[in-house]
Structure 1
């Protein structure tokens, strides 16, 4: 069986929710448990563009794994999930809690980390692109394991976790950067790591990108930095290509329901776009932006249509891609 184009080491999580006002009193709002996890959203971001058999993710199933959730996952394509039974454990769950405008996150069960070695005896072994979400020190362990697996040199997409995007983690990040092909924090994370004052602006985001490149991203410094910047879009650069911006797909705030998982889906879409554009990272950003656009339209995962048109949320990703590319071309012409 050919190697998968995209595999994530991100975890599957069942998300639970709590809503409080600024004083800590329940608001009365409720939300049923949902499919979550950065790996899940990244996988769906890639699935928007690529067939299920070209993707992969390990899903750890505890003794309490809900049958309806497995059915939902399989609706996106059986081949993309490698269900790993964990009968002695609970399924990983986390609480997303909202207090006024503040959002928090905490695990309710022990995490089961996924490593490159976990892929070797599965159909997900030796993918062309490997995505992971973790601390810089954990990323170094993953990079070391990859090197130990002979004849495998995947494109690595590294997404640092938010609570480790602090200045104290910068030395550990610098150590692992030569093993990372694509580094992609969001704007707040990038500025925090580099001790650049918040809130982000386009100028400070471009400054952060340049500083990361100076630190040496990728083998021989030939990697990319992509800073995901919410409604501002995304900024990307490498030492061989001048930086550039790609817009967020939605410029209508009414279309933005919940941004949970948007950054993960962006990077899954980026990996798919990298395949479909034969390695053009900048062009792949358009696929990434479209993948994110489907994620933020509702709470939870976007829905896949089984129609021949391959629609998601009742709309064609290829039509959105054309629209975004045309919008970018017009803006570039105007700027010239």
Structure 2
């Protein structure tokens, strides 16, 4: 096992999401190769969440376990280190195994995803005894059933009461998982499915509309989101923006940063994950204000969707990403959204 910056302070945010090497396949509607190819890319919801937070926080304030196999490409390692070596906790795969890989297949307009190798899941217990243990914010992506197991581990670790940001995994956002979700919601600080996932879990009709999204958010609150009745639901809704709902301060739509004719959307892969990394950073920087933090989240997502793979950190000293300033975008979004309610999450 290799530990980087093991003498650093505990990060503000740790994600339990996996690091994945993404491979790609492009086919016609008839299943024939199109000839298009893309090199292996950095992937994994945890990776995108970590970079979404990095837009706002220093590298040492973020932590993620990267399970590194014998086949870990040197160019990808170099790319990760450009964001700050302190972010990454590298573990060598047991028994000399390979890095987790997945295939992203595109057949016409249909997209598929499947793992090519066994997955190495990360749990809260994996953080114990490392610089990543007991962070202030914990982000995880999984099924409701596994979320129960994760929160059971969190609650068993003495002296740790993190703000939890839970992102349900898409293929387990099905009505059969709702009973498990209901059991875990009282221990979750912030629940954030996307619009399709929210409606699917609740057996509400598709496609999403603003009315059905607002209905879903209220239903999740009624089902018990939040420790001691204090919590929030944020439904990520693509070009419609995101809908934020709390028990005490009501609901609010926050715009997506890129909308209309000015849109620079190239690839939305990882947008929701980076949104939630930005949310955690925003919660820290605003003293826990969920509504204002969502503005930070929207800006983080805006940098992710401007290209395939991760955004480019041009200048760490002045926090310049893709040739632009997150602070400038935040100011633009604040002016566009106008007055917002304030709700400070506190357990």
TM-score (norm 1): 0.97
Query: Separation in 2 of the partners of 1:51 and 1:307?
Result: 9
Please state if 1:190 is matched with 2:193: no
- 20, 31, 45: which is aligned to 1:24? 31
Output one character per residue of 1:172-222: Cα deviation in whole Å (capped at 9) or x when no partner: 110111111000000000001001101101000000000000000012222
Query: Separation in 2 of the partners of 1:330 and 1:50?
Result: 25
- The aligned counterpart of 2:88 is 81
Deviates more, 1:95-104 or 1:267-276: 95-104
Pairwise mapping of residues 117-128 of structure 1 onto structure 2 (< 5 A)?
A: 117-128=125-136
Query: Separation in 1 of the partners of 2:112 and 2:310?
Result: 20
- The aligned counterpart of 1:92 is 100
Q: How far off is 1:2 after superposition?
A: 3.5
- The aligned counterpart of 1:108 is 116
Pairwise mapping of residues 27-46 of structure 1 onto structure 2 (< 5 A)?
A: 27-46=34-53
Query: Separation in 1 of the partners of 2:115 and 2:92?
Result: 20
Query: Separation in 2 of the partners of 1:167 and 1:197?
Result: 12
- The aligned counterpart of 1:178 is 186
The SS at the match of 2:166 is: strand
Query: Separation in 2 of the partners of 1:142 and 1:331?
Result: 33
- 147, 154, 161: which is aligned to 1:139? 147
- Post-superposition, which runs of at least 4 consecutive aligned residues in structure 1 deviate over 4 A? none
- The aligned counterpart of 1:258 is 267
Q: Extract unaligned runs of 5+ from structure 2.
A: 1-7, 342-347
Output one character per residue of 1:284-307: Cα deviation in whole Å (capped at 9) or x when no partner: 000000000000000000000225
Query: Separation in 2 of the partners of 1:32 and 1:20?
Result: 16
Please state if 1:72 is matched with 2:87: no
Please state if 1:296 is matched with 2:305: yes
Query: Separation in 1 of the partners of 2:242 and 2:224?
Result: 20
- The aligned counterpart of 1:161 is 169
